[in-house]
Amino acid sequence: MRLGLVDAPDHRKQHSGSIPLVGGIAIYLALLVACVVWGQTHDDQQGLRTEIIAVFLASGGMLVVLGVLDDRFHLSVFTRVLAEIGVALFLIESLDLRLANLGDLAGVGKVKLSPWLSYPFTVLVIFGVINAYNMLDGMDGLLGIIVLITIFAFHLFSGLPPGLITIVVSASLMAFLVSNLGLAPFIPKSFLGDAGSKLLGFIVVALTLSVTSAQISHVRYVQPITAVYLLGLPLFDMAFTTLRRLLGGKSPIRADNTHIHHLLRELGLSEKRALLLISSVGASIPFLGLMLAKASTPESYQFSILVGIFVLYCIVMNQAWHVARQRAPKVEVSHVTIEVSPTGRK
């Protein structure tokens, strides 16, 4: 409380009392300690892995510091954007990372980006995914469950066994969910905060780039279009919300109550039912991508199906918001006439 790292309820946040914003700090500290204790390696091949983990921890640490400052002082949009782009540039330069080959999206050959275009495109991908996961963090347990689903699907997609980072992050998220969902009465409630949501978004995009880009692992385990299924719901929610704001003449970066979790509340669903429904949607998109990949579906077909699913998502969400507006209670104000006598009495 004295540090000001608490989240107080307002017109957008309807929780009770001031909740500590320490979930992200705790997850990062757990990851940092685990990597220091168990991440030490000795041979040359593993030495490269140690260097990658060091870059990963440094980048994540920058985002945690940024998130803590934002939670405490409410930084400007320009400051946040500039800092997040700086983290993306640090990651790209440190690992010589470029997302240049997007695969055969149109069925006419590989889409390859030139060096001057692949660089900003990779920055945009990192920045976009970090903020997509940050935007989704608006309901107890939601982001933690979605990230656990993403990590589980990541291993199914890539065929890689669980490693130090995914094991520690998954275990930390399970511990956080016990606190966040109030599953143990003796453990106080906590929130991830911007530090946590941005850290989790960064972890997801770093893992995704590690299996889609040959620069890090020297092997492409997952095609880029298949990886988009892995990030499904957070990207869908961010894209739909941004389009809805632009079409409504509003700023695309101004926070409001137009995300999927806000919609389900407006429709009258309880927190548990809304969490179950959103988690089911969040799981269905990556597992559809997994089935398509395992069936050796051409990349152009995967891309067309993904676009079709997003269009369907937008149609359903738009109609659902129309229903929610119709359900909103209407306040009627009656006219009241007040007569004042010459003596001043009503």
pLDDT profile of the chain (346 residues), mean per 10: 82 70 95 86 50 91 95 92 96 88 86 89 95 93 96 92 93 95 91 95 93 75 92 94 89 81 90 94 95 92 96 95 81 52 50
Question: Which residue from 9, 35, 21, 7 is spatially nearest to 179, judged by alpha carbons?
Answer: 21
User: Per DSSP, what are the bridge partners of residue 101?
Assistant: 112
- With a CB cutoff of 8 Å and minimum separation 6, the contacts of 326 are none
Is-contact 316 183, C-beta < 8 A?
A: no
**What are the tokens at 183?**
């599953």
Q: Name residue, tokens 């990030």.
A: 231
Report the amino acid identity of residue 97.
L
The string of DSSP codes covering 265-318 is HHTT--HHHHHHHHHHHHHHHHHHHHHHHHTT--HHHHHHHHHHHHHHHHHHHH
pLDDT at 88: 95
**What are the tokens at 64?**
């945690």
Task: Give dist(CA 30, CA 36) in Å, integer.
Answer: 10
Question: Which residue from 206, 210, 212 is spatially nearest to 227, judged by alpha carbons?
Answer: 212
The string of DSSP codes covering 185-214 is TTS-----HHHHHHHHHHHHHHHHHHHH-H
Task: Give dist(CA 224, CA 104) in Å, integer.
Answer: 10
Please tell me the total number of residues recorded for the chain in this structure: 346
Residue 265: C-alpha distances to residues 35, 197, 233, 260, 274 (Å): 40, 21, 18, 9, 7
pLDDT at 42: 43
End-to-end CA distance of the chain: 50
pLDDT at 16: 66
**Collapsing DSSP states into helix, strand and coil, what is residue 220?**
coil
Residue 249 Rama label (left phi>0; alpha psi -120 to 50; beta): left
User: Per DSSP, what are the bridge partners of residue 20?
Assistant: 6
Task: Give dist(CA 152, CA 282) in Å, integer.
Answer: 12
Task: Give dist(CA 252, CA 243) in Å, integer.
Answer: 8
Q: What are phi and psi of 246, to 5 degrees?
A: -65, -45
Task: Give dist(CA 327, CA 322) in Å, integer.
Answer: 9
Task: Give dist(CA 135, CA 127) in Å, integer.
Answer: 12
Task: Give dist(CA 20, CA 6) in Å, integer.
Answer: 4
pLDDT at 47: 45
Residue 239: C-alpha distances to residues 252, 287, 298, 311, 321 (Å): 10, 20, 25, 11, 16
